[in-house]
Amino acid sequence: DTGVSQDPRHKITKRGQNVTFRCDPISEHNRLYWYRQTLGQGPEFLTYFQNEAQLEKSRLLSDRFSAERPKGSFSTLEIQRTEQGDSAMYLCASSLAGQGQVDTQYFGPGTRLTVL
Amino acid sequence: GDSVTQMEGPVTLSEEAFLTINCTYTATGYPSLFWYVQYPGEGLQLLLKATKADDKGSNKGFEATYRKETTSFHLEKGSVQVSDSAVYFCALRYSSASKIIFGSGTRLSIRP
C-alpha cells in the first residue's frame, strides 16, 4: 500500500533551531497539501502545490515557514527559528486533480513536532 | 468566514448503541461536506462525503445527509462497534478551492 508517507514521524527540537519535514505523496498525484493540527483541534490549511507550483499560502504560514516541491513529487516544509507555539502535528495530503468532481485528499500519518 | 462546528466530545457509548455526532456549518456558497476519521496512531481517512443538498453519504454503516435548510451534516450509525473508537472530523470544501475547513473533532469511545 503506497499511501502518503511523511518523515520523520516525530521530531523534538529546541527553541530557535531549524527543522525540515518531508512528504512523499501518492505516486502521480499532482496536488500536495500541508496542514497543521494542534491538540484538540482540527487540521488547519497551510499551503498547497499543483505540480511544482505553490498556488496558495495561508496567513498561518509566517515568514519562518517555507515549503517546496522542486520536481513536483516530494515536498519539504522547513520551519526556521522554531518557537514553542510551533509544536503541533504537521500533516501532508495529496490528491489527483481532474475536471469535474472535487478531488479526494489522502492524508499521511503526520510529523509530530515538539519544541522545547 | 466559512466554518464548521461539531459537538464536543468525548462521546462514550456502549457497543451496539445508536450514534449521532452533530455538525453544522457556515458557508457563503455551496460547498461539499465531508466526514473524516482518525483512528489511534493512523492518518486522517475520508469516511464519507456529500456534494450537494439532500445528498446522503454513506460508508461502513455510517450515514450523513447534506441539509441545506438547517446547514447541517450530522453523522449517524445504527449500531456502533468497539472498532469505531476514533476521532471524527466534519469538514467542508468548495470545488473551486484547495483547502478543507475542518471542525475541531469529536472523540468517540465505545465500551464493549
Strand partners, B50: B33
- Taking the CA of residue B16 and the nearest CA in chain A, the distance in Å comes to 27
Distance from CA of B33 to the nearest CA of A (A): 11
Segment A31-72, tens digit of pLDDT:
999 999 998 899 999 999 999 999 999 988 889 999 999 988
Phi, psi of B91 (to 5 degrees): -155, 160
Chain A residue with Cα closest to B31: A102
Cβ B106 vs Cβ B88: under 8 Å:
yes
Beta-carbon contacts of residue A31 (< 8 Å; ≥ 6 apart)? A48, A49, A50, A94, A95, A96, A97, A103, A105, B98
- What's the gap in Å between the CA of A46 and the closest CA on chain B? 9
Strand, coil or helix: what is B83? Answer: helix
Closest CA to A94 of A18, A12, A4, A20: A4
Evaluate whether B70 touches B77 at the Cβ level (below 8 Å): no
Q: Which of A41, A101, A104 sits opposite B104 (nearest CB)?
A: A41
> What is the per-residue pLDDT across B2-22, written as a single tens digit (0 to 9) for each?
899 998 889 999 999 999 999
**Confidence grade of residue A99 (pLDDT, cut at 50, 70, 90):** low
Cβ atoms of B82 and B110 closer than 8 Å: yes
Residue A101 pLDDT greater than 80, yes or no: no
Cell 492518518 belongs to residue: B43
Residue B1: pLDDT above 90? Answer: no
Q: Report d(CA B82, CA B89) in Å as an integer.
A: 18
- Give the type of residue at A37: Q
> Phi and psi of A64, rounded to 5°?
-80, -15
Of A48, A104, A107, the CB nearest to B98: A48
- Alpha helices, DSSP H, located in B1-112: none
Contact call for residues B15 and B75 (beta carbons, < 8 A): no
pLDDT at A1 over 60: no
Cβ-defined contact of A48 to B32 (cutoff 8 Å): no
Amino acid at B110: I
pLDDT score at A77: 97
Chain B residue set in contact with A, beta carbons under 8 Å: 4, 32, 36, 41-46, 49, 51, 89, 91, 93, 95, 98-105
